Structure 1
Amino acid sequence: MRPIFITGTGTDVGKTVVSAIVTEALQADYWKPIQSGFASGTDALSVQQLLPPSDRIVHPETYKLFLPASPHIAARQDGVAISLENIVTQYRSIQQQRPTGTPIVIEGAGGIMVPLNDTQFVGDLIEQLQAQVILVSRNYLGSINHSLLTASYSKQKQLNVMGWVFNDHFMNYEQEIVNWTGYPSLASIPYATEVTPQFIQQQAEAIRPALLQQLQ
C-alpha cells in the first residue's frame, strides 16, 4: 500500500487532528518527518495522546527543528539542510520494520507549497514518496482561494489525491470546492471545543468507508 500523506491549504488547518483520525480509521502507523518548533510539544506526541493503546507505532521525526517557522528557515537556524533523500531512506526503513501492508500516515509541514530547502517543496516530497494525498481545508474566509490553489498545484504535479477533508464551518461551500476541483469530499470534521480520543474514534468510524474506497 502506498503511504498516505496529509497536507493542506496552509498552517493550522487541522492536519494533525485529521492525521490522528485517518491513523485510527486505518489502524495505521503515524510519522511526521519534519517538525518545526517543539517548545510546546510535537505533533507526533499529540497524535500519540489521541490514539488508544495499540501496536501501532508513532515513528520519530527525521528532522526536529527548534524554530516554529518554515522548515527551510528553521533548518538554516539549526545549521542543517533538509534532504529529501534522507526522509525517503527513513521511510524505506520504516517499511522494513513493519509487517507488509501496514498503512503509514505521513503528516506534512504547513501547506503543500512550503519550502523544505532552497529548491524543493512539500509537493516534491510527496512525489518522491509516491504517496497518496489527503488535502485538508479549514473553513475560513479566504479558504476557497487557498483550496483551489492547492488543488491546482496538485494537478500540475500529477499527485494522486484521494480527496478533501474539511474542518470547522464557515458558511456552506464545501461542495463547490469539490465541484471546482474534481476531488471528492472524504469527510467534514465538525468543530469541537476539545479534541479527545473519543472524538477521534467517532470521526475515524465515520471516515473509514470513504478512505477504504479511495485507497490504492
Structure 2
Amino acid sequence: MGARPTAVQIVITGTVTCIGKAVFAAGLTGLLDAVYWKPVQAGIQEGADSETVALLAGLSADRVLPEAWRLTEPLSPHRAAELDGVEIDAEALTLPPTDRPLIVEGAGGLMVPLNRHTLYIDVFARWNAPIVLCARTALGTINHTLLSIEALRARSIPLLGVVFIGDRVVDTQKTIAQMGKVRVLGRLPFLRSLTPGTLSASMQELFRATDFIGVDK
C-alpha cells in the first residue's frame, strides 16, 4: 500500500498583531471543514485563540489541536517564555499530520521571535506550507503588507495570497495587489454581531474554498 496523501496545510499569519487573524482563521477552518492549530499561545490568562476559534467555528474537541507552548503573559513568545522560565524549541515545531485540511495560526507577524535565535518566519520557511497573509485595511497597511510580502519571497516561502480585514478601502487594496504582485483572496469586514452564524455566512459569501485548496466544498 502507498503512503496516505498529506492533507492540505495552510499557515495564517498577519502583517501586525490584533487585526482579526484569529477570527479569519476560525472562518477558514469552518469553510474548509478543517482542523485548527496554534503552535504557540502567549497570554493564556486572557483566553487562548484556540478557544475563540473553537467557539466561532463550532469545532469539536478533536478538531482543535493542543498548543505546543502555552505561555502566561501576552507578550512576544520569546519574552513570554523567558518570564515562564522556559525556552521555545523552534526546531521541534513540526506540522502535525491530519486527515482534514490543517489551518495553522502564527503569533502576530512574520518577524515575531520564538526565542533569541529564531523568528517565526524561519519556522515557516522550514515548513514550506502555503501562507495566507492577513492585512488590515487601515492607514499604514501598504507598508506593512509589502514588507511582509518581500520577506516571504526573500525566503522562497509560498504565498497563497492576501486577505484583507476591515472596511473596504479600494485604492489601498488595489495598490497592494498591484505593487505586491499578489493575489487578493477576499476581504472580511468587521462584523457588528460576531457569532458562529454570522461568521460562517460571511465566509460563504465572500470567499471561495477553491481559492485555498483547489477543490469544491
Superposed CA deviations along residues 172-200 of structure 1, whole A, max 9, x for unmatched, are: 21121011111101111112123210122
Residue matched to 1:115: 113
Residue matched to 2:4: none
Residues 54, 74 of structure 1: alpha-carbon distance in 2 compared, 3 angstrom cutoff: closer
Equivalent residues of 2:74, 2:80 under 8 A apart: yes
Could you tell me which amino acid in structure 2 is paired with residue 141 of structure 1? L
Equivalent residues of 2:8, 2:213 under 8 A apart: no
In the TM superposition, what is the alpha-carbon distance from 1:169 to its structure 2 partner? 1.6
Tell whether 2:38 aligns with 1:38: no
Residue matched to 2:199: 200
Residue matched to 1:138: 136
Residue matched to 1:212: 213
Tell whether 2:78 aligns with 1:77: no
Count of matched residue pairs:
207
Within a 5 Å distance, the mapping from 1:43-122 to structure 2 comes to 43-53=49-59, 57-88=63-94, 91=95, 94-95=96-97, 98-99=98-99, 102-122=100-120
In the TM superposition, what is the alpha-carbon distance from 1:203 to its structure 2 partner? 2.9
Equivalent residues of 1:24, 1:200 under 8 A apart: no
Could you tell me which amino acid in structure 2 is paired with residue 212 of structure 1? I
Equivalent residues of 2:113, 2:119 under 8 A apart: yes
SS across alignment from 2:134: strand
Residue matched to 1:189: 188
Higher relative contact order (CA 8 A, sep 6+): 1
Equivalent residues of 1:163, 1:183 under 8 A apart: yes
Equivalent residues of 2:54, 2:60 under 8 A apart: no
In the TM superposition, what is the alpha-carbon distance from 1:204 to its structure 2 partner? 2.8
Aligned partners of 1:3, 1:37: CA distance in 2, in Å? 25
SS across alignment from 1:135: strand
**With structure 2 as the length reference, what TM-score do the two structures score?**
0.89
Aligned partners of 1:53, 1:118: CA distance in 2, in Å? 34
SS across alignment from 1:39: helix
In the TM superposition, what is the alpha-carbon distance from 1:150 to its structure 2 partner? 0.6
Could you tell me which amino acid in structure 1 is paired with residue 41 of structure 2? Q
Equivalent residues of 2:168, 2:189 under 8 A apart: no
CA RMSD across the alignment: 1.9
Unaligned runs of 5+ in 2: 1-6
In the TM superposition, what is the alpha-carbon distance from 1:86 to its structure 2 partner? 2.1
Could you tell me which amino acid in structure 2 is paired with residue 14 of structure 1? G
Aligned partners of 2:210, 2:46: CA distance in 1, in Å? 34
Equivalent residues of 1:5, 1:106 under 8 A apart: yes
Residue matched to 1:177: 176
Could you tell me which amino acid in structure 1 is paired with residue 92 of structure 2? N
SS across alignment from 1:141: coil
Could you tell me which amino acid in structure 2 is paired with residue 58 of structure 1? V
Question: Identity of paired residues, percent?
Answer: 33
In the TM superposition, what is the alpha-carbon distance from 1:170 to its structure 2 partner? 6.1
